[in-house]
A and B are shown apart, each in its own frame.
Chain A
Amino acid sequence: QVQLQQWGTGLLEPSETLSLTCAVYGGSFSGFYWTWIRQPPGKGLEWIGEINYDDWGNESRNSTNYNPSLKSRATISGDTSKNQFSLKLSSVTAADTAIYFCARGIIRVSGRFDPWGHGTLVTV
């Protein structure tokens, strides 16, 4: 059974860079779309972006894809040797205060995420 364990800095000052990591346990890292999603307190879900690795564990061509609303502040990277992927979000403001979830995207062009990490509250 695949489980996602996430961690990162919970309190930031404006203009700093948010940094979160998600580790994948009990399953393959290859062939999935590793995704970050956030949820401002009391509000709905927002897709941040994804990184994809092919079935052989290689970063796919055009492997990352981001929500344009983040205006190029987001960077998602991965480490196949550790089965981990990370999110960096630069120049944070109070509007970036949210619970950040990592999730496994089953197939592209689907919006199907299973499982999810437990979430990390980031306060700016």
Chain B
Amino acid sequence: QSVLTQPPSASGTPGQRVTISCSGGGSNIGRHTVNWYQQLPGTAPKLLIYRNNQRPSGVPDRFSGSKSGTSASLAISGLQSEDEADYYCAAWDDSLNGVVFGGGTKLTVL
């Protein structure tokens, strides 16, 4: 059972907008910034969003993040087939004194 809660799956058709939620608590998302990772099949995770809504260089602006209270969301607009991957949220947790991850959301592009 992960500390951060994500839906196990999400789906959309090409061109559509999809959102993935990440729910936490006062010791993690409520006090710290949220990061999102994309993991393509058979590869290492890649930083997609940091500090709630910042994109690293090279990440398309189709990807956006937001945070409110103890929850965060990742939005993908103009869905493309290459977006099919697992997505993870992560944040520091004061109770653990370490990083906690969501259980991951498998995105399927129909």
Residue ranges of A at the interface with B (Cβ–Cβ < 8 Å): 35, 44-47, 49, 65-68, 101, 106, 108-119
Contact = CB atoms under 8 A, between A and B. Distances in A.
A46 B47 contact: no
Contacts of B33: 110-112
Interface string B4-20: 00000000000000000
A113 to B, nearest CB: 6
A111 B96 contact: no
Given A44-B104, A45-B88, A111 B99 contact: yes
Given A110-B33, A111-B91, A65 B47 contact: no
B98 A113 contact: no
A68 B27 CA distance: 16
Contacts of B44: 101, 116-119
Contacts, number: 73
**Main SS of chain B's interface residues?**
strand
Question: Which residue, of B35, B43, B44, B50, has the highest number of chain A Cβ atoms within 10 A?
Answer: B44
A116 B99 CA distance: 15
B47 A68 contact: no
Contacts of A110: 32-33, 35, 50-51, 92
Nearest to A48: B98
B45 interface: yes
B60 interface: no
Contacts of A119: 44
A114 B32 contact: no
7 contacts: A44-B101, A45-B90, A101-B45, A106-B50, A111-B100, A112-B51, A114-B47
B103 interface: yes
B98 A45 contact: no
A46 B104 CA distance: 11
Nearest to A101: B44
